[in-house]
């Protein structure tokens, strides 16, 4: 007799299975459950960067020197971590656009990380998942791997669309620097996804994960903007948007190792904390 009410759970788990097989069952189920969401974000970001890159470069080519001088006197470009000198370089516009698409990808990553856990409580399926033969650590890592795959798919789609846009519409691109800037979007998304996993486990009955993700990402971006304007490096460590600035990558040829190490430490901390809490915390069933 099969105990699952969900048709997908019935299809994948109505047999006795090993831990490895059960992990794959959950992973396949979660990927099928979220595939539309993942593909939607991947296609949206890919289409936007592909269309906007040649548009903004055309604007750059047609702009006058006086316009650049006027734009360079504002604090806006300092707040996003670019200068007018960098903006007029071969990758300036692309780095500028990527800094804004990181906001969207950050919302995706954190919302996905939160909702992959909160949906079990808000949709009333937690009791079927957590009281049946799947160990909690298997459930945790299957869900975490689902989020990781989603982040990689979105990041790969953005990278591919960016590469096509730059190859087709912009000559003389320094490809090493380009790949570092494009990859930084995936790294920022991964950071927020790990944070989202932690938030989703700590607050499993959150009924507004998208609002939560949007607020957190907005605050983090404001922290980076503020630290850029006042030139305070200490504050910048509070936001992942400070870790992968396009202008800094262009200047040094690689990521800032201090920021990179700090980011890896924080992601590890988020995962360890969420894993420990997930194994011990009482599961909130139907609300």
Q: Which two tokens stand for residue 202?
A: 């700590």
Note the pLDDT tens digit of each residue in 68-80.
555 555 666 666 6
Q: How many residues does the chain have?
A: 287
Percent pLDDT > 90 in the chain is: 49
Q: What are phi and psi of 239, to 5 degrees?
A: -135, 135
Dump the DSSP string for 194-261: HHHHHHHHHSTT-S-HHHHHHHHHHHHHHHHHHHHHHT-HHHHTT-GGGTT-HHHHHHHSS--HHHHH
pLDDT of residue 27: 87
Note the pLDDT tens digit of each residue in 150-178.
999 999 999 999 999 999 888 788 899 99
Separation of alpha carbons 287 and 282, rounded Å: 14
CA-closest candidate to residue 85, choices 72, 98, 104: 72
84 Cβ contact list (under 8 Å, min separation 6)? 68, 69, 71, 72, 77
Separation of alpha carbons 104 and 95, rounded Å: 15
Note the pLDDT tens digit of each residue in 186-238.
999 999 999 999 999 998 888 899 999 999 999 999 999 888 888 888 999 99
């Amino acid at each position: 007799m099969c105990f699952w009410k969900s048709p997908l759970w019935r299809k994948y788990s109505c047999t006795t299975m090993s831990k490895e097989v059960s992990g794959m069952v959950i992973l396949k189920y979660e990927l099928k459950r979220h595939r539309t969401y993942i593909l939607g974000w991947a296609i949206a970001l890919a289409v936007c960067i592909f269309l906007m890159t040649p548009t903004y470069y055309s604007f750059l080519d047609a702009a006058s020197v006086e316009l650049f001088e006027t734009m360079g006197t504002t604090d806006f470009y300092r707040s996003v971590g670019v200068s007018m000198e960098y903006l007029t370089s071969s990758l300036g516009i692309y780095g500028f656009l990527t800094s804004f698409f990181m906001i969207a990808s950050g919302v995706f990553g954190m919302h996905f990380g939160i909702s992959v856990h909160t949906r079990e409580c808000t949709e009333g399926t937690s009791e079927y998942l957590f009281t049946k033969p799947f160990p909690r650590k298997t459930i945790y890592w299957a869900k975490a791997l689902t989020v990781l795959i989603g982040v990689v798919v979105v990041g790969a789609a953005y990278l591919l669309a960016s590469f096509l846009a730059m190859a087709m519409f912009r000559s003389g691109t320094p490809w090493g620097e380009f790949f570092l800037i494009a990859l930084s979007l995936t790294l920022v998304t991964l950071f927020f996804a790990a944070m989202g996993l932690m938030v989703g486990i700590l607050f499993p009955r959150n009924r507004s994960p998208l609002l939560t993700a949007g607020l957190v990402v907005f605050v983090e971006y404001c922290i980076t903007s503020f630290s850029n304007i006042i030139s305070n490096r200490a504050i910048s460590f509070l936001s992942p948007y400070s870790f992968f600035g396009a202008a800094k990558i262009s200047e040094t040829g690689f990521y800032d190792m201090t920021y990179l190490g700090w980011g890896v430490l924080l992601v590890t901390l988020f995962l360890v904390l969420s894993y420990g809490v997930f194994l011990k915390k009482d599961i909130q069933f139907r609300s």
